[in-house]
Structure formats: C-alpha cells, structure tokens
C-alpha cells in the first residue's frame, strides 16, 4: 500500500523538476511522477527522474564504509565502521595541514547536488583555497562572462513570452540543464516563440527552428563576432540602452568590423544567407532570450563565446526586460552566495589556489582540475597531499584521463564519497557510502524559487549524506561555521526570511519575485553601475579586453575529422550506466558519423569503430546519420562500464582518453573537448578481440543475472 504523495524536487540531473513521491512500505520503494503544480516542469519528468526508485534501492549500492587493502586501482576493500573511517580521514587531514599547510588538501566534487556550498564551506573553514570541479567546462564560463560584463548571470524569461529564443550549444529539451527545464522551451515554441539553433548536430529541437546554424565545432566565438558585426551593420542595436547604461560599445563595433558575413560563413562552415537570417530574426525581435549550453563551453574559446552572447543580448536591448535575459534577485536565505562562507577563508590564501594562469576561473573560487593533477605529479608550485572527492567520477569526467589516473595513483591519500564503487573509487583509500536524492532533506535554490527536497526513504544501509560527512569531519577538526547537524542547518539557513524548514516542507516552494529593468534605477551590480563590453580587469590580468577567436590551424591529414561529443538523455554525465531501465535504452556508447564518412571508411551502423587521436583510441558503436556535418563526428561522453573490471571499465570507451588540456581557455582553463581533430576507422583483429574479452562474450544487458553477479564480484569487498 502506498502513502499519500509527498512533493519534492528531483536531482537526477541539473533540472530540478518538481515530483510527487509515494513510498511503498512493503519493499521500501518509491513511486515517482512529475508534479503538475511545479512552475518549472509542469508535471513533466524524464526517464532519469522516473528511474529514481531503481537507483535508490539498487543492489550494488554501497552500504558501509570501505578501506583499501590492496594496491591502488585494483579495487580490494574491507568494510569498516563509520567511526574508524572518519578517524582515518580526519587524522590524514590534520597531518597534512600540520605538515604542508591547508592548501595541500584538495576537495573535488561533481556537478552540483545542492551540497556544493557545504564542500566550499568546509574548504574555506579548513583554510584551503582548492576546490575543483567541472566548473570550467560546464557553467562557469557563462557565469563569469555575465559577472564581469554586468555583475550577474541571466536566465531566459519564459513567463515574459520571448518572441525569439537563440539556443546555442544546448539540446535543452533532452538535457534540462541549470534549472531551466526543456519543457518550458517547448511550451514557448508551441505558443509562437521563434527558434534559432546553433549546433553542429541536427537535434530534435533544431528541426523545429526557423534557422539552424550547423556550425563547425570550435568556431562559436567566430560566429559570435560575426553576429555582433551584423547587428551593428544593420542598425539592430538598442541605442538608448547602449548610450545610457554601457561602456565601450564603439570599441566593440571596431573590434568586430572585419567579421563580414562571408568571412564568418567561411570560418564556421555555414551559408552567409543563414547567418543573415539568424541576425535579422534575433535582432529584429521585440524580445529575445539566449540559452547557452555546454556545447560552447568545452573549448578554448569558452569564455570568449560566453561573453559574446552576453554582449549580443545587451546590444539588442534584451537584458532584464520581459521575455529577455533577466537578472533574478537572490532569495534572501543563506544560499548559493553566502553558504560557501568565503569570509572563513584566511586572507591571502586565495593566492595559493591551483589555477595556473587561468585567473578568471580562480576569481570564481574554483581550482583548475588539470593544474591540480599536474601539481600532484610534478610538485609544482607545491604538492597536494590529499584528495577528498564528493560525487565525482574523475577518470571519465576530465580531459587527459591517463594523467588523471597517474595523479590518483600518486597522491598521498584519496577519500571518495559515492553511491557506487566507481572506477575513481577503486583508487580511494577510504570510500564512504552516501544516499540518493530520495533519501535526503535539502534546500533547493533556483532562480525563480526556493524549494524543499524531502526524504521519503530511509538511507540505504549505513549511508550518510555528504552534508553529514562534512559536518562530522568539521566537528572532529574543530572548524568554525558549522551547525551540530545538517538538519539543524535547515532552519538556520531559512531564518533570514523569517521562516523555517517545516514551513518550507508544508509550502513546498517559495516563489522568488522578478523585477524588470532594475538597471534603470539601481544600475548594474558593477563598480560603476554600467554594462561593460570591455572590462578593464581583463587587461589588468593580461587578457584581451574584447573577445577573440582562436583559430585551430590548418587541416591535418592524419586527423581529418573534428571531434565533438554529447550526453545521452538517459544518463547524466557518468551516472546511471548501471540502472537497468536506463541502460536498456542505450546499452552502448555511440559515435555519430555522416554517410560520407561511413562510406569513405567502411563503417556501418551498429558495428564497433575506433576513434583515434594522438595515438590513443576509444571504441564506440557507429550510428550513420544525416543529422551531422560531413567533417564532424559526435561521440557519447562520460562513458564507463559498471559490468567490467578496472581498467577496461573506464578506458575502453572513454572519450576523455583522447582529449587533453594543451590548448585550453586562457581565462577559464576550459579544455578543448569539442573541436579537436581525430579520425575514425574500423577495428583491427586485435582490437576486436580486446572488446570481446572485455565483455566476456556477454552483451551488456543490465538485467542479466550473470552480469550482475560479475559486477558484485568485481567489487571485491572483504567482510570484516
């Protein structure tokens, strides 16, 4: 028998959809459906959200703390008690701080699960400036572009009914990223919103666009420069906004003057007529919003591309207006801006942040992952001694996976907090089990509301939340700025708005107010209240004050194709490959190629192929398609095989085994994951044998009992 529905917020991806949860007490499973009353998803729920119950009670969940008893990377562990596990971690941190200072302790996390602020708070209180995550290849090029230009980050105002949406490097109806659910875009299109899509692949949403600019991967900044030049040329600028609220617009006009339609079309591999139509449509709209995804953030020009789109919105008068790109007021709770406790970090400690020359990333508070790994391996500028990993599968999530593996093998101590024994957890000295999102109470903060994520199942086994782990470590280390328990923090964080956790649970969400055109009376939240096309701080730090395009160079006959990647709608980054209902929908990683590429190389749909770059290889199933450019291949990202033992589980089909960080964003350190050169070919006999041996001649059907037995066997956990 099921209980009455409990309203909550999904966290199977970044979207944060409202859900209705019903618990079945008989077997402690939970029934999940979309919440029609939620203002973000209106009852929609994707396959990942619907699989929450299978994830929460997955037979391979970690249920007790583990301690490594064999060589690093081979996955031999024994179960230990929580007190012993936390004591090991605490003593290691204490020893490292005493020996090499707080900066020698590095924290790592995956994509935000609403405990990100806790990770930063712990780091700041400890005194280490080093928290690394996927910031530079995910959200933060956009965030920092907005902050340096106008003091904040914008979201498309769908409530204001935009006349046009420019969707750039994002398949939003499938990915539902950053709290902006794809269903809202589809509803807008159904209501008459016109769509311009920039994407090298003809996605399902691109087929609904008035204009689809199928650009050459890695040329986003060139297209941005060309669009801005045309906006000036055609007089589509908002002269009043520019005159009264901006600086350096004329510098931008001169800077883009050489980016004619023909030059832009040639560099980007587009038709000049299509670029012109996109400019006419966007620039001529009464209101327009820009949705930018990771497609343009995972390249050398990530920061430049993001800045250009912020500038385009400003030039056309679409900032903070109905149906445009709006700046939301913070909700007033102890949330994303204040919970990290930046004031807890000792003065001057930020100078030791491991960012290399990528100072804009450092300004955001993040360390740079590749710089951290290089420091572990080289000892320069100093040696990180401990790595505390919260919910991140580092081996498949970062460029140059073999460098990541060497760093994991060499660093003095690794702690991993995760639901499963991932390839990264194989390298840990201590592994701590954590619960799924249906087993947690959390405050969820989106631009348009604050909501309650309500635990409906008890944590599986002895698992503890990341917040509990961080709090316990903080208490043992005597750190300041923490509550006695995460549950106690819920009331404290809501106190500034005069409410408490019980009230939020009852109400489910509190809507945030939206005020338009705040700059007219308050100015922008910059030092002079203006929107800056050429922020002076960039020149001060040695970066160009205006965005530039980085030309990748001439054609390379040994690597004639351009590599890009995408995420499946059934997985979130590296998650859920072990969930039967999702794995059945896409059992293998895919490389999408054009008919011309397939014909030239003898490739066929459903067959294995090799992507090759700089002597490294990765294996994918072929999908021959009419949706992709003939000079481009598009591969599944973040793939690993839970059914295999290490190292094949993460090496066989890992696109990041092919990527590197040699040509990264100067400002943000973003690796050139989308736009590097490669080739694709058929398998050699030895490669075919390698794949056969890896799968042990058993196809990856997650429901297969023998395969599940192999997963559990390879965990190799020795009972106490």
My answer on whether omega of the bond before 647 falls inside 30° of 0, hence cis, is yes
Domains of the chain by residue range = 6-56, 66-136+333-436+463-481, 154-326, 561-718
Q: At what angle do helices 466-477 and 486-494 cross, to 10 degrees?
A: 100
Structure tokens at 17: 């959809």
Residue 366: name the closest of 64, 139, 548 by CA. Answer: 139
The single residue listed with the structure tokens 């949403």 is 205
Q: Which residues contact 30 (CB under 8 A, 6 or more apart)?
A: 21, 22, 23, 24, 52, 53, 56, 438, 456, 457
pLDDT band at 697 (very low <50, low <70, confident <90, very high): very low
Can you tell me the distance from the alpha carbon of 326 to that of 160, in angstroms, rounded to the nearest whole number? 10
Mean pLDDT over 576-596 rounds to 97
Contact assessment for residue 229 and residue 283, using Cβ atoms and an 8 Å cutoff? no
Burial of 555 (0-12, 13-18, 19+ CB in 10 A): exposed
pLDDT in tens, 515-528: 999 999 999 999 99
pLDDT in tens, 134-151: 999 999 999 999 999 999
pLDDT in tens, 243-274: 999 999 999 999 999 999 999 999 999 999 99
In the prediction, which pLDDT does 720 show?
Answer: 31
Domain 66-136+333-436+463-481, second-level architecture: 3-Layer(aba) Sandwich (3.40)
In the prediction, which pLDDT does 15 show?
Answer: 74
Structure tokens at 280: 């006419």
Mean pLDDT over 469-491 rounds to 98
What percentage of the chain exceeds 90 in pLDDT? 87
So what CATH class is 6-56?
A: mainly beta
Collapsed DSSP state (helix, strand, coil) of residue 591: strand
Mean pLDDT over 694-711 rounds to 46
Largest CA-CA distance found in the chain, in angstroms, rounded? 74
Residue 352: name the closest of 123, 104, 540 by CA. Answer: 104
Contact assessment for residue 703 and residue 656, using Cβ atoms and an 8 Å cutoff? no
In the prediction, which pLDDT does 178 show?
Answer: 56
In the prediction, which pLDDT does 179 show?
Answer: 53
Query: Is residue 41 over pLDDT 80?
Result: yes
| Long-range contact set of residues 455-459: C-beta below 8 Å, sequence gap at least 24 | 456/6, 456/8, 456/21, 456/23, 456/30, 457/23, 457/28, 457/30, 457/56, 457/57, 458/28, 459/435
Collapsed DSSP state (helix, strand, coil) of residue 250: helix
Mean pLDDT over 85-109 rounds to 99
Q: What is the pTM of this model?
A: 0.95
What phi and psi values does residue 196 have, to the nearest 5 degrees? -115, 125
Q: Decide which of 708 and 299 is more confident.
A: 299
CA dihedral 63→64→68→70, nearest 10 degrees, is -60
Mean pLDDT over 16-40 rounds to 89
- Find the distance separating the first CA and the last CA of the chain, reported in whole Å: 37
Domain 154-326 CATH superfamily: Dimethylsulfoxide Reductase, domain 2 (3.40.228.10)
Residue 374: name the closest of 427, 350, 348, 410 by CA. Answer: 410
Contact assessment for residue 123 and residue 131, using Cβ atoms and an 8 Å cutoff? yes
pLDDT band at 174 (very low <50, low <70, confident <90, very high): confident
Can you tell me the distance from the alpha carbon of 133 to that of 120, in angstroms, rounded to the nearest whole number? 11
Collapsed DSSP state (helix, strand, coil) of residue 624: strand
pLDDT band at 664 (very low <50, low <70, confident <90, very high): very high
Query: Is residue 698 over pLDDT 60?
Result: no
| DSSP code of residue 350 | G
Task: Return the beta strands (E) in 601-648 as ranges.
Answer: 608-613, 616-625, 632-636
What phi and psi values does residue 224 have, to the nearest 5 degrees? -60, -45
State which fold the 561-718 domain adopts: Barwin-like endoglucanases (2.40.40)
Laid out side by side, the sheet with 131-132 consists of 131-132, 105-109, 386-390, 413-418, 430-433, 66-68, 77-79, 717-718
Contact assessment for residue 113 and residue 466, using Cβ atoms and an 8 Å cutoff? yes
Query: Is residue 277 over pLDDT 50?
Result: yes
Query: Is residue 27 over pLDDT 70?
Result: no
pLDDT in tens, 617-653: 999 999 999 999 999 999 999 999 999 977 899 999 9
Can you tell me the distance from the alpha carbon of 250 to that of 354, in angstroms, rounded to the nearest whole number? 36
In the prediction, which pLDDT does 705 show?
Answer: 43
Task: Return the beta strands (E) in 546-696 as ranges.
Answer: 561-566, 590-594, 608-613, 616-625, 632-636, 676-681
């Amino acid at each position: 028998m099921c209980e009455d529905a409990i309203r909550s917020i999904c966290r199977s991806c970044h979207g944060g959809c409202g859900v209705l949860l019903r618990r079945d007490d008989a077997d402690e499973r939970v029934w999940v459906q979309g919440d029609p009353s939620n203002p973000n998803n209106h009852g929609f729920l994707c396959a990942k959200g619907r699989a929450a119950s299978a994830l929460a009670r997955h037979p391979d969940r970690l249920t007790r703390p583990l301690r490594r008893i064999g060589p690093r990377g081979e996955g031999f562990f024994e179960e230990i008690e929580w007190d012993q596990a936390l004591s090991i971690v605490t003593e290691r941190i204490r020893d490292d701080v005493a020996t090499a200072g707080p900066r020698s302790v590095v924290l790592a996390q995956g994509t935000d699960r609403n405990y990100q602020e806790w990770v930063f708070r712990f780091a700041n209180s400890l005194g280490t400036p080093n928290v690394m995550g996927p910031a530079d290849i995910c959200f933060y090029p956009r965030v920092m572009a907005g902050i340096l230009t106008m003091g904040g980050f914008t979201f498309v105002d769908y409530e204001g009914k935009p006349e046009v949406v420019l969707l750039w490097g994002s398949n939003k109806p499938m990915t539902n990223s950053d709290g902006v659910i794809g269903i809202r875009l589809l509803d807008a299109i159904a209501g008459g919103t016109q769509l311009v899509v920039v994407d090298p692949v003809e996605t399902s949403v691109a087929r609904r666009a008035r204009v689809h600019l199928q650009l050459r991967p890695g040329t986003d900044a060139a297209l941005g420069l060309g669009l801005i030049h045309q906006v000036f040329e055609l007089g589509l600028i908002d002269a009043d906004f520019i005159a009264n609220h901006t600086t350096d617009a004329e510098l931008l006009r001169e800077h883009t003057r050489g980016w004619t339609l023909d030059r832009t079309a040639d560099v980007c591999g587009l038709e000049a007529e299509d670029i012109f139509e996109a400019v006419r449509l966007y620039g001529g709209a009464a209101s327009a919003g820009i949705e930018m995804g990771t497609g343009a953030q995972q390249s050398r020009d990530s920061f430049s591309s993001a800045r250009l789109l912020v500038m385009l919105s400003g030039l056309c008068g679409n900032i903070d207006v109905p149906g445009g790109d709006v700046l939301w007021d913070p909700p007033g709770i102890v949330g994303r801006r204040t919970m990290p406790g930046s004031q807890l970090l000792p003065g001057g400690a930020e100078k030791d942040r491991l960012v290399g020359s990528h100072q804009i990333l450092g300004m955001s508070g993040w360390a740079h992952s590749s710089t951290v790994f290089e420091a572990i391996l080289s000892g320069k500028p100093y040696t990180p001694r401990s790595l505390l990993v919260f919910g991140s599968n580092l081996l498949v999530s970062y460029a140059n996976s073999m460098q990541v593996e060497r760093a994991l093998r060499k660093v003095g101590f690794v702690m991993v907090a995760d639901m499963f024994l991932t390839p990264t957890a194989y390298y840990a000295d201590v592994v701590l089990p954590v619960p799924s999102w249906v087993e947690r109470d959390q405050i969820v903060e989106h631009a348009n509301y604050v909501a309650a994520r309500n635990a409906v199942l008890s944590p599986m086994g002895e698992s503890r939340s990341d917040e509990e782990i961080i709090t316990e470590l903080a208490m043992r280390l005597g750190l300041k700025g923490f509550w006695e328990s995460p549950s106690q923090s819920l009331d404290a964080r809501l106190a500034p708005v005069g409410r408490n956790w019980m009230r939020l649970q009852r109400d489910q969400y509190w809507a945030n107010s939206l005020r338009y055109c705040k700059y007219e009376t308050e100015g922008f939240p910059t030092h002079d209240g203006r929107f800056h096309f050429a922020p002076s701080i960039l020149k001060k730090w040695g970066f160009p004050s205006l965005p530039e395009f980085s030309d990748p160079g001439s054609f390379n006959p040994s690597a004639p194709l351009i590599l890009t990647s995408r995420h499946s709608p059934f997985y979130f980054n590296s998650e859920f490959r072990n969930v039967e209902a999702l794995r059945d929908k896409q059992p293998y990683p895919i490389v999408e190629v054009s008919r011309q590429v397939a014909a030239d190389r003898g490739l066929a749909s459903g067959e294995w192929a090799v992507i090759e770059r700089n002597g490294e290889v990765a294996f994918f199933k072929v999908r021959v398609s009419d949706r992709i450019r003939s000079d481009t291949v598009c591969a599944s990202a973040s793939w690993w095989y839970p059914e295999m033992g290490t190292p094949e589980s993460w090496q066989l089909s890992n696109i990041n085994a092919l990527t590197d960080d040699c040509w990264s964003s100067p400002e943000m350190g973003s690796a050139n994951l989308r736009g590097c050169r490669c080739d694709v070919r058929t398998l050699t006999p030895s490669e075919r044998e390698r794949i056969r041996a890896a799968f042990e001649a058993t196809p990856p059907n997650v429901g297969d009992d023998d395969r599940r037995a192999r997963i559990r066997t390879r965990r190799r956990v020795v009972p106490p």
